[in-house]
Amino acid sequence: MVKKRVLSGMQTTGRLHLGNLLGALNIWVGMQDEYDCYYFAADWHALASNYEQTEELSGNLLDLGVNWLSAGLDPEKSVLFVQSLIPEHAVLHLLFSMITPIPWLERVPSYKEKLEQVANKDLHTYGFLGYPVLQAADIVIYKADYVPVGIDQLPHLELAREIVRRFHDIYGARVFVEPQGKMSEVPKLPGLDGRKMSKSYSNAIYLSDTREEMTRKIKKIVTDPARVRKTDPGDPEKCVAFNFHKIFSSPEQNLETEKECRSASRGCVDCKTMLAKNVLHKIGPILDRRAYWSGRNQEVYDILKEGSIKARKVAKDTLEEAEEAMKFNFSKLIPGVR
Ligand code: TRP
């Protein structure tokens, strides 16, 4: 039986935190056996909003590779690659840009929101408007069936399908596969202060934090604000730490925690000490693998190189098919250049 193909990308915009681990990485890892998986570092996408600060992007790529391997992505099972090493993505993006109506891009919700929200950068660029066209090219050049992403990305997948249909209509050949989003029910991990875990809120626990730093941060997690003294009864439903417990502690522990919080027989400090132990126990194997991979830069690059070579073969074939369909196949008429 032929496995269905999965593809997803992650921007190289910064360090990964526990929210990214639970939200995306664990899902990627879990799909490796059942699907033919392609995962890539979206460094061109990172460039779209960081074109003025490019120095960090290369360090971020290495950190991303280390985190992927630490989380359990396995180069024997999945193709791990780097977007900017596969120029075919850019060529297909260009071809798609010829047939994509501008209003389709202007109405993408993330486009409008980012333009309003991000005040410190000028995102009124051609590349930023075309961000989802590049994303469509990333996906369909591998004929991916499924794309594991967060809900915020669903409009991008819808647009990818619309571009595919338009391409098929205009050129009369079915070259691409219409990709479907693959959502999974993961409990959302809040930040230390209860807001969304995010670099920009300084409320994140990073995979690169030491165990001591993680413990220190966990002890700062906000608890029920009404529980001022240890003798005050608390309400776990109003406690951010309890949200963490739900993800990292056992159901039996959580029943007990709930009881002892409501009856004020356990204090928040003890409760978070236990939580820190559970978190570190759960992600211990990842931290150990991280210690192994940190500093093995060349090996990490070599893995990305192997993956990129494999990915490029697929991308080249699809691009050729697309150009053939468009009767725009000069690379076939004049071979040996590309
Ligand atoms: N836009 C995605 C994000 O911000 C990253 C991305 C780029 C992507 N290309 C992709 C995700 C292709 C899935 C498929 O998370």
- Domains in the chain, ordered, with CATH? 5-188+296-333 (3.40.50.620), 209-292 (1.10.240.10)
Active site residues: 114, 196, 199
79, 149, 176, best to mutate for ligand 1 pocket (most atoms within 8 Å of CB): 149
CA of 151 to the centre of ligand 1 (A): 12
Q: Distance between CA 169 and CA 172 in Å, rounded?
A: 5
Asked whether 139 lines ligand 1 (CB < 6 A), one says yes
- CB–CB of 262/254 below 8 Å? no
Asked whether 153 lines ligand 1 (CB < 6 A), one says yes
pLDDT for the residue 183: 85
Asked whether 135 lines ligand 1 (CB < 6 A), one says yes
Q: Distance between CA 204 and CA 23 in Å, rounded?
A: 14
Q: Which atom of ligand 1 approaches the CA of 156 most closely?
A: 1
- CB–CB of 67/16 below 8 Å? yes
Asked whether 12 lines ligand 1 (CB < 6 A), one says no
Task: Count the Cβ atoms, other than its own, within 10 Å of residue 191.
Answer: 22
- CB–CB of 17/195 below 8 Å? no
**What count of residues does the chain have?**
338
CA of 131 to the centre of ligand 1 (A): 9
Helix-, strand-, coil-residue percentages of the chain, each rounded to 5 = 60, 10, 35
Which residue's alpha carbon is nearest to atom 4 within ligand 1? 11
Asked whether 9 lines ligand 1 (CB < 6 A), one says yes
pLDDT for the residue 186: 79
Q: Which atom of ligand 1 approaches the CA of 144 most closely?
A: 14
pLDDT for the residue 270: 96
CA of 128 to the centre of ligand 1 (A): 13
Q: Distance between CA 145 and CA 177 in Å, rounded?
A: 7
Reading the chain (338 residues) residue by residue, the pLDDT tens digits are 899 999 999 999 888 999 999 989 999 999 999 999 999 999 999 999 999 999 988 889 999 999 999 999 999 999 999 999 999 999 999 999 999 999 999 999 989 998 988 888 999 999 999 999 999 999 999 999 999 998 889 999 999 999 999 999 999 999 999 999 998 777 789 999 999 998 889 999 999 999 999 999 999 999 999 999 999 999 999 999 999 999 999 999 999 999 999 999 999 999 999 999 999 999 999 999 999 999 999 999 999 999 999 999 999 999 999 999 999 989 889 999 98
Supply angle C-alpha 138, 84, 135, rounded to 5.
25
5, 6, 7, 10, best to mutate for ligand 1 pocket (most atoms within 8 Å of CB): 10
pLDDT for the residue 80: 98
pLDDT for the residue 151: 87
CA of 132 to the centre of ligand 1 (A): 9
Asked whether 148 lines ligand 1 (CB < 6 A), one says no
DSSP collapsed to 3 states, 233-249: CCCHHHCHHHHHHHHHC
HSE, side-chain direction, 13 A CA sphere, residue 324: 11
Radius of gyration of the chain (CA): 23
pLDDT for the residue 86: 98
Left if phi > 0, otherwise alpha if psi is -120 to 50, otherwise beta: which for 72?
left
pLDDT for the residue 36: 98
CA of 148 to the centre of ligand 1 (A): 9
Which residue's alpha carbon is nearest to atom 15 within ligand 1? 10
